[in-house]
Amino acid sequence: MSSTAIPEGNVGNLTTEQETKLRQFWGTIFKLYDLYESKDPEIQAALKNCATQAAAPAQKSRFGLFGGGKKANAEDNNATALIEKQLGLGAADENDKFGLRKQFMEMLSKHSADSARSMIFEAVKHDHPDALALRFLRARKWEVDRGIIMMFSAMEWRTSKSKVDSDIMYNGDGGGARDEKSSDPNTKILAHDFMRQLRMGKGFLHGTDKLGRPISYVRARLHKPFDGKNESLERFIVYNIETGRMVLEAPIETACLVFDLTGFTLANLDYVPIKYIIQSFEANYPESLGVILVHNAPWVFKSVWKIIQGWLDPVVASKVNFTNGRDGADGITNHIAPERLIKELGGDLDWEYKYVEPIEGENDVMKDTTTRDRLLAERKQIGQQFEAATRKWVEKSTPETNAERTRLAKELGVNYWKLDPYIRARSMYDRNGNLRGGKKAAWYEDEKAAAALEDKAGDRSTLQSEDTFVDAGNDAAVALGSLKIDEKTPLPTTANAVAA
């Protein structure tokens, strides 16, 4: 598959059946919003009681929620059954190893329609909202109810537990460098642990593989168990995953993850972060990994792998490839071109990881809350328009509704990159010129040279202005009529035709 091909099941390449599932998925989201906004006191009471049921599961309800545990009262059981029925939830997933159904039911009692909407559009960032939904649908083999449970559990994790956008990305490494000087001992230690991992390069991004996927490197030899707090380690892992999302550009939606085990010994073995990484990618960032390269694994890793493999979802496990050395049948250059592979792993690229410290004043624009709030209000308005168009699309998929959704999704992307400097602290990749505010990421010298020329010429082809999108939306009917689609190209649905 070329780097520009769109995999089936992604935005722009949906079968008729997949588009139907996506419409059902959004329809169920809207059912949840409507439940929150219902004036029915029974429904409102049921939503509040879902948390009690989740905390104290009863025997399986007729809709198959939880089994075992101490009994919940009849009111709680009725509440759960009512909400399950309204949302069309099926039987509980026996393989729900992360307890997502329980998390989902607890989440229901905490939110409103507005906060649920906000969670989704905060997580969407610069993506098409369908791309976010499709990740969870694919991860749950197109089972709508389980995809909904998984997505909202992940959204709750982002906002309430890990505070991904309100803390980790908002403060970034600039916040870490600041907190290293804090007078509070705990704050200072956590910040120092976080920054130490960045400075040593325990994990970092650089370059792309042969399919154009960004590469995330993990140097396992640099990890020492108990050499820092788990909280800082988890923060570091999430920070790297989220920063990696910033360099994705459609149709590329996945990354190449390289676990470099060169020099790895049992002294580096720590199952705690391994489990956290697995949970992150399986439960909170599904369908984000294109390939996992376990490179130069020593013989002692064989027994470790048997344990890890048992924890992995079979789909994730199928993406694991063991590579050894540079060339040959199992060489890493089968996946990463030699000229794009860093010399540390035997490649021809003369590049070494070097952390670039935060620059004084680089985040001063974040103090401009007036502009931030204006852009957030604009984003909310676009989101409302996207929801209205999607509600129509759920009822009936037509070229017109698809064109409207595509236009609004692009407007959301433009809005995000305007908003980004006000809500995300600058990272090393911003300082190095790798991240370019919505334009194609530049990793290599030839890419940076091309980027410099593009910026100098004022070429905004990769990030069109809002006005351009509005004009394109007004001419959508004309554009649709002029589309020339190759009969061999898999674009069977109206959604695909518009996305193309």
Higher pLDDT, 91 or 275: 275
Residues 154 and 272 in one domain: no
Residue 69 pLDDT greater than 50, yes or no: no
pLDDT at 477 over 90: no
488 versus 407: the higher-pLDDT residue is 407
Task: Please tell me whether residues 333 and 187 are part of one structural domain.
Answer: yes
Determine which of 73-77, 210-214, 436-440 has the lowest per-residue pLDDT on average.
Answer: 73-77
Asked, for residue 203, whether it belongs to a domain, the answer is yes
451 in any annotated domain:
no
User: Is 311 among the domain residues?
Assistant: yes
Q: Please check whether residues 191 and 93 belong to one and the same domain.
A: no
For position 474, what pLDDT does the model report?
A: 42
> Given 345, 365, 391, which residue is the final one in a domain?
345
Query: How does residue 74 score in pLDDT terms, banded at 50, 70 and 90?
Result: low
Q: What backbone torsions phi and psi does residue 322 show, to the nearest 5 degrees?
A: -95, 125
Cα 110–Cα 116–Cα 120 angle in degrees, nearest 5? 135
Domain boundary (323, 345, 367) is at: 345
Average pLDDT over residues 76-95: 81
* 179 and 275 within one domain: yes
> Does 320 map to a domain?
yes
pLDDT at residue 481 is higher than 90: no
Mean pLDDT of the chain: 88
Decide which of 95 and 273 is more confident: 273
Does pLDDT of 494 surpass 70? no
Looking at the 3D structure of the chain, how many domains does it have? Answer: 2
The pLDDT confidence band at residue 2, using thresholds 50, 70 and 90, is very low
Same domain, residue pair 203 and 97: no
Residue 49: pLDDT over 70 = yes
In this prediction, residue 464 carries a pLDDT of 55
> Could you tell me if residue 4 is inside a domain?
no
My answer on whether 176 and 311 are in the same domain is yes
Q: Are residues 203 and 273 in the same domain?
A: yes
Same domain, 133 and 183: no
Give yes or no: residues 181 and 283 share one domain.
yes
Whether residue 28 is predicted with pLDDT greater than 70 in this model: the reply is yes
Percent of the chain at pLDDT > 70 equals 86
Q: How confident is the model at residue 79 (pLDDT cuts 50, 70, 90)?
A: confident
> For residue range 266-280, what is the model confidence (pLDDT) as tens digits?
999 999 999 999 999
When pLDDT is averaged across residues 93-104 and rounded to a whole number, the result is: 88
Percent of the chain with pLDDT over 90: 78
155 vs 49, more confident: 155
pLDDT bin (cut points 50, 70, 90) of residue 63 is very low
* 5 band by pLDDT with thresholds 50, 70 and 90: confident
Note whether residue 3 is domain-resident.
Answer: no
CATH number assigned to the domain comprising residue 221: 3.40.525.10
What's the per-residue H, E or C state across the chain?
CCCCCCCCCECCECCHHHHHHHHHHHHHHHHHHHHHCCCCHHHHHHHHHHHHHHHCCCCCCCCCCCCCCCCCCHHHHHHHHHHHHHHCCCCCCCCCCCCHHHHHHHHHCCCCHHHHHHHHHHHHCCCCHHHHHHHHHHHCCCCHHHHHHHHHHHHHHHHHHCCHHHHHHHHHHHHHHHHCCCCCHHHHHHHHHHHHHHHHCCEEEEEECCCCCEEEEEEHHHCCCCCCCHHHHHHHHHHHHHHHHHCCCCCCCCEEEEEECCCCCHHHCCHHHHHHHHHHHHHHCCCCEEEEEEECCCCCHHHHHHHHHHHCCHHHHCCEEEECCCCCCCCHHHCCCHHHCEHHHCCCECCCCCCCCCCCCCCHHHHCHHHHHHHHHHHHHHHHHHHHHHHHHHHCCCHHHHHHHHHHHHHHHHHHHHHHHHHCCCCHHHHCCCCECCECCCCCHHHHHHHHHHHHHCCCCCCCCHHHHHHHHHCHHHHHHCCCCCCCCCCCCHHHHHHC
**End-of-domain residue from the set 345, 360, 382:** 345
List the domain range (segments joined by +) for residue 154.
16-55+79-161
323-380: pLDDT as tens digits: 999 999 999 999 999 999 999 999 999 999 999 999 999 999 999 999 999 999 999 9
Instruction: Based on the fold, state whether residues 284 and 136 are members of the same structural domain.
Output: no
Taking the model in full, what pTM does it have? 0.87
Q: Tell me what pLDDT residue 52 has.
A: 72
Q: Stretch 209-228: mean pLDDT, rounded? A: 96
**Pair (113, 186) in one structural domain:** no
Q: What pLDDT was estimated at residue 488?
A: 35
**127 and 199 part of one domain:** no
* Overall average pLDDT of the 117-132 stretch: 97
